Structure 1
Amino acid sequence: MTTREDASALVRRMQECFNTRRFDQAADLHTPGFFSHPLGTAGFEAGKDAWRMLVTRFPDVRVVAEDILVDGDKAAVRSSVQGIAAPDGGAQPMLFEIFRIDDGRFAEMWGASTGFPASASPEDLLG
């Protein structure tokens, strides 16, 4: 079973890798068979490519975990996205992700976003 402390530390380490653009270090936080449901791919390489695409388009983007909820081997994370202007004064962009954790590493991820400018959500950038 994953503890709240362990899951929170893992999420914060991943976000620190993203925010400091140390994408290669984030690979160690994922199992070799990590599966991203939004990307429909196994392995973390596609995730690194997605991160690179996002920071190319939004060089000041940062993510900050606002809530981390843990149940068994799953962690649900609500993160604010900074460095991207909300469209037409709308709500700040947010990410919602659920991770399955296996032996202290991310094994699987589901996700969605809200508040991104049109055609600029992570899903749109990769689709």
Structure 2
Amino acid sequence: MTTREDATALVLRMQECFNSRRFDQAADLHTPGFFSHPLGVPGFEAGKRAWRALVARYPGIRVVAQDILVDGDKAAVRSTVEGITAADGDEGPMLFEIFRIDDGRFAEMWGAGSGFPPAAGPEDVVAG
């Protein structure tokens, strides 16, 4: 079973890799069979492409975990997204992600966002 402390540390390490643009280091935090349900593909390479595309479009983008809830091998994360103006011009966009953790690494991810401008979500940037 994944402890709250281990899951929290893993999420924060991943966000730090994104925020500092150390995408290759983030790959080590994912299992070889990692599957991103929003992107619909196995492996972390598609995730790195999504991250690179987001950073190219929004150079100041950062994610900051607000809540991390852990239950068994799952971690649910609510994060604010800085560096993007929300679609409504108010509070910044939010990311909601659920990760399945296997042996201290991310094995699966489900996610959704709110408040993103049109075609600015991670899966939209990769598709567009």
**Bin for the TM-score computed over the shorter chain:** over 0.9
TM-score, normalised relative to structure 2: 0.96
**Identical-pair percentage:** 79
Q: Which runs of 5+ in 2 are unaligned?
A: none
How far residue 90 of structure 1 moved from its aligned partner, in angstroms, is: 2.8
Q: Do the aligned residues in 1 keep the contact of 2:88 with 2:115 (CA within 8 Å)?
A: no
Q: Which runs of 5+ in 1 are unaligned?
A: none
TM-score, normalised relative to structure 1: 0.97
Q: What is the Cα-based RMSD across aligned positions, in Å?
A: 0.9
Cα distance in structure 2, aligned partners of 1:44 and 1:88: 31
Deviations 1:33-80 (A, max 9, x none): 000000111110110000000000000000000000000000000000
The 4+ residue runs of structure 1 with deviation greater than 4 A are: none
How far residue 2 of structure 1 moved from its aligned partner, in angstroms, is: 0.5
The residue identity in structure 2 corresponding to 1:24 is D
How far residue 103 of structure 1 moved from its aligned partner, in angstroms, is: 0.3
Could you say which residue in structure 1 is the equivalent of 2:75?
75
How far residue 116 of structure 1 moved from its aligned partner, in angstroms, is: 0.8
Deviations 1:76-116 (A, max 9, x none): 00000001112342331000000000000000000000111
Could you say which residue in structure 2 is the equivalent of 1:54?
54
